[in-house]
Structure 1
Amino acid sequence: MGDAATARDASKQDTSDRIVLAAEVEFAERGFEGAGMKAISQRADVSQALLHYHFGSKDHLYAEVVRRRSKLINEARLDLLAKVDLGGKEAIGGILDALFRPPLGPLGGDQSYTRIFGGLIVGRERDRALVREYYDPTAQKFVEALQAALPGSSRKTAAHAYTLALGALVAVISRDGRVERLMGQQELRGIDEVLAGLITFAEGGIRALAASEKSEN
């Protein structure tokens, strides 16, 4: 490929990336229904014609925002999960750290994508379909890891544990200041403090679920 063709491809990719990042902010601030293609094109500093050329419709652009960000999050999650000793004493904490850390950190898109992420879990069919496509395959691996780390537990309990842990993540991921208000603490807490609280809370609940299942059998 010649230098000119390479430059054109790079420019096209830069434009695509700029549009997706602009769309991420617009969807986060206004939701899917409130976000407009014109507003997104203005944020990205491209024409609406060029925006439609790259992504076609608002539905396709929204799906691309979720696809790109979920890929970053899930790759990081699986990398961290692969390092967890599922037979060790710290397995549950390690699994939860792998689940929580990427979406809370820089790969999670800061406050822009975190608002979208929270909405995906409780969203409409469009959101549920995107979750099935882009998040469920990774979720299955975490359910399997939880079951392996809880000897004698069923797939049902492991899936329930994963779902409840994810709910705890959604409760804090927007970082809208509510937790700080309730604590009487004005400054935003750091990721390590947020993670420590989430892991402690979720691990306690998961172990209680597993113990409850054993007592019933």
Structure 2
Amino acid sequence: MLKRSFEHPPWPCGKTRPVNRTGSTKERILGAAETLFAQRGFDGASLRQLTSAAGVNLAAVNYHFGSKEKLVEQVFRRRLDALNAQRLAALAKVANQPDTQLEDVLDAFIRPALELSHEDGGSLFMRVLARAFAEHDDGLRKFLSENYGHVMRQFTAEFARLLPRLSKEELYWRIDLVTGALTHAMSGFGMIQRKSDVSERAHREQTVQHLVRFAAAGLNAS
């Protein structure tokens, strides 16, 4: 049975942001954890370092999260819950419709992810996501698969409907490569950088359009 991961780690780009000392205690802890996990990894970032960075005591971490493991999970939930809700909402508008094009489904998959990568702290979170796979944490991988694997399965089902001539294995390969192209675009580390006279919004839209066209050609290649 073919087993392939559809979530690839976006690679680091740029410098990490300083820890935000404003906001609620819970948000300060999450922000500090995101920064430290990106810099040091999950095992390398200690609770002592985290409480110091967030300006809180250990009791506050235990009160809001209960354990370091649950804190790690909440760092992912804070970003991925919203991302995948947006993806599924966009997919629901086009799935199983007779006039749906491959580009429509790709837009639903790609656009929310690129928008996340341009949010405040979005590129930093990409580094955290990279750590989740680079460090081979089976518990964390299981958490991500159990909570977000259904999203990729729904997209894969729609891709399969639109590309019935492809075998399951061939479809998986192509989706895997599309996901890799997306994570590269999310990293912002490619040759195409935003020009000074182009707004962030316009540059992101250009990236979406180019990536959708590129991915559609790859998925639909003979």
Q: Taking structure 1 as the reference length, what is the TM-score of the superposition? A: 0.74
The aligned residue for residue 135 of structure 1 is 148
Q: Whose helix proportion is higher, 1 or 2? A: 1
Does the 8 Å CA contact 1:84/1:95 hold for their aligned counterparts? yes
1:195 aligns with 2:208: yes
CA distance in 2 between counterparts of 1:184 and 1:141 reads 32
CA distance in 2 between counterparts of 1:26 and 1:157 reads 38
Deviation at 1:120, TM superposition (A): 3.7
Find the partner of 2:56 among 46, 49, 71.
46
SS in 2 for 1:152: coil
The aligned residue for residue 10 of structure 1 is none
Deviation at 1:184, TM superposition (A): 8.1
Matching of residues 44-83 of structure 1 within 5 Å? 44-83=54-93
Larger radius of gyration: 1
- Greater relative CO, 1 or 2 (CA 8 Å, sep 6+): 2
Find the partner of 2:125 among 99, 109, 113.
113
SS in 1 for 2:165: coil
Find the partner of 1:155 among 165, 168, 172.
168
* Percent identity for Structure 1 against Structure 2: 31
CA distance in 1 between counterparts of 2:97 and 2:167 reads 16
Between 82-91 and 68-77, report the one with greater CA deviation: 82-91
Does the 8 Å CA contact 1:143/1:155 hold for their aligned counterparts? no
The aligned residue for residue 190 of structure 2 is 179
Q: Deviations over 1:51-107 (max 9, x none)?
A: 123223322211221123211110000011112265567622121221122222147
Does the 8 Å CA contact 2:95/2:158 hold for their aligned counterparts? no
Does the 8 Å CA contact 2:116/2:122 hold for their aligned counterparts? yes
SS in 1 for 2:89: helix
Q: Which amino acid aligns with 1:179?
A: G
Deviation at 1:18, TM superposition (A): 3.1
CA distance in 2 between counterparts of 1:197 and 1:127 reads 33
Q: Which amino acid aligns with 1:110?
A: G
Q: Deviations over 1:154-195 (max 9, x none)?
A: 4333333322211212223222xx313xx5878697322222
Does the 8 Å CA contact 2:38/2:131 hold for their aligned counterparts? no
Deviation at 1:45, TM superposition (A): 2.6
CA distance in 2 between counterparts of 1:103 and 1:184 reads 18
Find the partner of 1:93 among 103, 109, 115.
103
Q: Taking structure 2 as the reference length, what is the TM-score of the superposition? A: 0.73
CA distance in 2 between counterparts of 1:60 and 1:145 reads 33
CA distance in 2 between counterparts of 1:30 and 1:98 reads 33
Segments of structure 2 that go 5 or more residues without pairing to the other structure are: 1-23
Q: Which amino acid aligns with 2:65?
A: F
